[in-house]
Amino acid sequence: MRETIEPESGSALEELTKDPSSRKRFLGMVGGAGAAGAMAMFLAACGDDEKDKKADSSGEKKDAKGGGGVDLEIVNYALTLEYLEAQFYADVIKSGVVKTKAVVEAAKMIGQNEQEHVDALLATAKKLGTPAPKPKTDFQAVIDGGEKMVLATAATVENLGAAAYLGQAGRIESKEILAAALAIHTIEARHAAALNTIVGKPIVPDGAFAKPASMEEVLPKIKPFLVS
């Protein structure tokens, strides 16, 4: 039996599980009945970052407008991942390494989605405080590996992105930000499923319930693509 992880105290998920009227308004924000299944997945499978939970155990609430706060931390974390993904597709398309027409068109569409995620998260981070800077990236080693390596890396990155959003869901305090994270997570998961199919992996590698990934699990995996 899969273990259910309880939403963190004070989070938007905790409020949604306890307050039917709040849950109804939230589902309206993310698309009504279609969101209910996704919401159920979040409640059943959401993870959290144990290190950050300990750091916040004092119960002190930071001022998001002053540049602190859990939600700003999570938005900036997501923004960094989206910056990386958007740049990856931009570099791949520019390089011309991908030759298959259908794959090129898919890469362009996914890249556009990732850039739209960047724009939305950047605007949100500015409202909350100070946005994370755009990181310097280097994907040349992947590009030099050819189309096969590019596609395998894209699948890995998209699956990681979906797991990263799921890993932070239980910590988000604002229902509006949770709605945005849920909407982006859904797209990341669709990207991952499409790329998994292309590279011959299972569409749903984790089975019926997606596995969350904490910051400690995600950040080392993207570090090879970052230039210090």
Q: What is the pLDDT of residue 49?
A: 43
- Predicted local distance difference test score (pLDDT) of residue 218: 97
In the chain the domains, ranked by start, together with CATH numbers, are 12-225 (1.20.1260.10)
- Provide the CA 97 distance to its chain's centre, in angstroms: 26
Q: Residue 116 carries which side chain, given as an amino acid letter? A: E
Q: What is the pLDDT of residues 80-122, one digit of tens each?
A: 999 999 999 999 999 999 999 999 999 999 999 999 999 999 9
Which two three-digit tokens encode residue 124? 């949100």
| 165 contacts 46 by C-beta, under 8 angstroms | no
> What's the confidence (pLDDT) of residue 228?
82
Look at residues 156, 222, 147, 179 and name the one whose alpha carbon lies nearest to residue 71.
179
Taking the chain (228 residues) in consecutive chunks of 10 residues, what is each chunk's mean pLDDT? 53 63 52 44 42 42 51 97 98 96 95 97 95 97 97 97 95 92 95 96 94 96 94
129 contact partners, CB below 8 Å, separation of at least 6 = 64, 65, 66, 67, 68, 69, 72
pTM: 0.76
124 CB contacts (<8 Å, ≥6 apart)?
Answer: 75, 177, 180
- In eight-state DSSP terms, residue 64 is G
Looking at residue 54, its pLDDT comes to 42
Alpha carbon distance 33, 153 (integer Å): 34
Alpha-carbon distance of 36 to 79, in angstroms, equals: 25
Q: How many helices (H) and strands (E) does the chain have?
A: 10, 0
Could you report how far apart the first and last alpha carbons of the chain are, in Å?
Answer: 43
